[in-house]
Amino acid sequence: MRRKLAFGIVSIIGLAVASGAVGAATSGEQLAQSAGRPLIGAQAPRLVLKTIDGATIDLGRLYGKQAVYLKFWATWCVPCRQQMPHFEHTYETAGPDLAVIAVNTGFNDSIDNVRAYRRQLGITMPIVLDDGQVGGAFNLRVTPQHIVIGRDGRIQYVGHLADARLDAALVVARAPPAAAGAANAAAPATASAERRHYAVGDHLPEQSPPTLDGRRFRFRDPADPRRIVLVFLSPWCESYLATTRPAVSANCRRMREQVSELADVRGVRWLGIASGLWATRDDLRDYRSKYGVHIPLSLDESGALFRAFNVTELPAALVADGGGRIVQKINGSDVATPAALRTAIDAP
């Protein structure tokens, strides 16, 4: 039997992220429901997905024929691992009227991580490594996040737990579409993900994201010719990833420490941009208070800025000159060099 995971080795109902990835006041299910509220009943995006094995899945061609179950997950996510037996069981028993697809968030994950995880757990469903497009289209806010699309091509369910409500949604989604639903499913739908990426050599976009203090941070301000450093972070990186990704956790700590040491350097404007994955504004405020962070902070709730600057691993930083041109990007392990950020700031 190809199945290597024993369905039922863990109890799935009531799972929450271990070690408090978000504040206790905001549960994973609350975040998923908040993300799903504007999606329920809407036409699902007609995205074309590529699996890690090179296969192509055209979601638009499935609508009207099969229900679709997308599960967003990450290799470092504790409840994702706990829910994998349920997910694998759903895939193995799906039948011809349900497509089951695992969408790795691509957030602090590589294709090597994903393949090793697949071997270790013995999972067999198709796996997609997201570049941010799929998560952006489905309002990704938490891992795992379940998306159930009916055979009529409309989004029927968004949740976090692998429980009776998810199972019921999967049953309902398989119902044959009504004639009107099938016609609607055939109509093109727009994906909401942005495709423009800003890289070294490009100018920062004309944007002014809001900070926790209610101000706007202008990326391009002709009246202020100082250098700009955008620091990409997560309020739970140091704590939650200490056990599942210790090297990443250490790099997040090093970046924070370097920022604290350099925050008062004259001639530099700073902005910390926090991922909206597993984070709320209250979590970001707690992070600021806990670590004494003094630079302005902004929550990228939709992930649009992370996508725009092609940030898929933490920590990361972008340095732009006084004219708003991006001159350097510092990624992940580069932060292990103690002077990495200072060198970037001091470079001519």
**SS3 of 34-69:** HHHCCCCCCECCCCEEEECCCCEEEHHHHCCCCEEE
Tell me: do 173 and 303 sit in the same domain: no
Tell whether 250 and 339 lie within a shared domain.
yes
Q: Do 236 and 179 have their domain in common?
A: no
Average pLDDT over all residues of the chain: 88
For the cut 80, the answer to whether the pLDDT of residue 4 exceeds it is no
Shared domain for 234 and 177, answered yes or no, is: no
Answer whether residue 97 shows pLDDT above 50.
yes
The DSSP code for 178 is P
Q: How many domains does the chain have?
A: 2
22 exposed, middle or buried (CB, 10 Å; 0-12, 13-18, 19+)?
buried
Distance from C-alpha of 160 to C-alpha of 143, rounded to nearest angstrom = 7
- Residue 307 within a domain: yes
Q: What is the mean pLDDT of residues 135-162?
A: 97
Residue 71 lies in a domain: yes
Q: How far apart are CA 119 and CA 274, in angstroms?
A: 32
Query: How crowded is the C-beta side of 18, counted as CA atoms within 13 Å?
Result: 11
Residue 168 in any domain: the answer is yes
Read off the pTM: 0.88
E strand or H helix at 148: strand 145-149
Specify whether 35 is located in the same domain as 136. Answer: yes
Same domain, 180 and 37: yes
Between residues 17 and 210, which one has the greater pLDDT?
Answer: 210
What tens digit of pLDDT does each residue of 184-225 get? 444 444 444 456 789 999 999 999 999 999 999 999 998 999
| Domain end residue (candidates: 120, 155, 186) | 186
Domain check: are 146 and 275 in the same one? no
182 with 35, same domain?
yes
pLDDT value at position 180? 42
Looking at the domain assignment, is residue 203 inside a domain?
no
Residue 292 amino acid letter = G
Q: Examine the domain organization and report whether 41 and 164 are in the same domain.
A: yes
Mean pLDDT within 301-323: 94
- Do 81 and 51 contact (CB within 8 A), yes or no? no
Q: Which domain holds residue 232?
A: 227-346
Say if 333 falls within a structural domain. yes
CATH number of the domain to which 255 belongs: 3.40.30.10
Asked if the structure places residue 19 within a domain, the reply is no
Same domain (yes/no): 236, 151: no
14 in a structural domain: no
Confidence of residue 177 (pLDDT cuts 50, 70, 90): confident
Determine the pLDDT at residue 195: 61
* pLDDT reading at 146 higher than 80: yes
**Do residues 156 and 293 share a domain?**
no
User: Given this model, what pLDDT does residue 46 score?
Assistant: 96
